[in-house]
A = this chain, B = another copy of it.
Amino acid sequence: MSHRKLRTIEMNRLSIEEFHDAEKLPLIVVLDDVRSMYNVGSVFRTCDAFRVKAIYLCGITATPPHPEIHKTALGAEDAVQWRYFATADEAVEELHREGCFVYSVEQVENSTKLNQLTKDNSQLTIDNRQLRGKAIDGNSIAVVFGNEVKGVHQSVVDASDGCLEIPQFGTKHSMNVSVTAGIVIWEFARTMNFF
C-alpha cells in the first residue's frame, strides 16, 4: 500500500476566510500568565489544527502580532480568534457570564483525570450550568492552562467549575505547557466527535 507523502496542496488546508466561516470546536483555550512566546505560538498552531473557537490571552501572556509568537505559530495567529484579559480571573468571570463551563488544567486534589473525560462531560454538563443559573451559548467549554513554573493561579482554580489533570507516571510530573495543551485539546476534539 502506497504511503506517498502528501504535497501541501493535497492537504485541503483552509484559507483564513474559510477558517473564519467553518464550524469550530466548542472549546475556548485560556492562557494564564504563560511566559514563553514560543509556547503561545505553538498553542495557536494547535488551536488552528483543531479549529478551536478562541484563545483568551491573560496577564503576562504576550499577544500577536509578535515575531517570537510568529516563529512557532507560523501564521496560525491570523486564523484563530483571540482576546486579551488583564487577568485570567476576569476571563473566567466573562466565560461564566457567557454560560461556559470552565476547567482548569492542574494537578490538584479531586481532579478529573483526562482519561476519564467522556462525551458526557466534554460535551455538555448542562445540569451544572443550569445550576449556575446562567445562559447557555451553545455548550462551550473553556480550559485554562497556567504559567510554566507556577501553573494556574489558585484563585482561578477556585473559580473554575472543575479541574482536569493529565495522569503522569514518571520522575517529573511536569510537561511542557504547549504539549499539555495539545493533549487536552486533542482529547476534547476526540470525545466531542469533532472528526
Residue positions of A touching B, CB distance < 8 A: 1-6, 8, 11, 13-16, 18-19, 22, 38, 42, 45-51, 72, 74-76, 79-80, 104, 106-111, 113, 115, 151, 154, 157-158, 160, 163, 166-176, 178-183, 186-187, 190, 194-195
Taking the nearest CB of chain B, how far is it from the CB of A178, in angstroms? 6
User: How far, in whole Å, are A193 and B40 apart by their CA atoms in the complex?
Assistant: 31
Q: Is the CB of B45 within 8 A of A106?
A: no
Is A4 within 8 A of B183, CB to CB? no
CA distance A14 to B171 in the complex (A): 5
Chain B residues in 8 Å Cβ range of A51? 169-170
Taking CB atoms, residues of chain B closer than 8 Å to A47 are 170
Contacts A151-B5, A195-B115; is A174 near B45 (CB within 8 Å)?
yes
Cα separation A115 to B191 with both chains bound (whole Å): 10
Residue of B8, B110, B166 near A3 (CB, 8 A) is B110
- Cα distance A76–B11 in the bound complex, in angstroms: 35
Identify 6 residue pairs between A and B in the complex whose beta-carbon atoms are under 8 Å apart, listed by A's number. A3-B160, A5-B151, A14-B169, A48-B170, A113-B195, A182-B182
Q: Are A3 and B108 in contact (CB under 8 A)?
A: yes
- Beyond A2-B109, A14-B170, A22-B169, 4 extra complex contacts between A and B, CB < 8 Å: A13-B170, A74-B172, A76-B170, A79-B170
Residues from chain B with Cβ under 8 Å of A174 in the complex = 45, 49, 74
| CA gap between A194 and B168 in the complex, in Å | 10
Residues of B within 8 A of A38 (CB): 38
- What distance in Å separates the Cβ of A72 from its nearest Cβ neighbour in chain B? 6
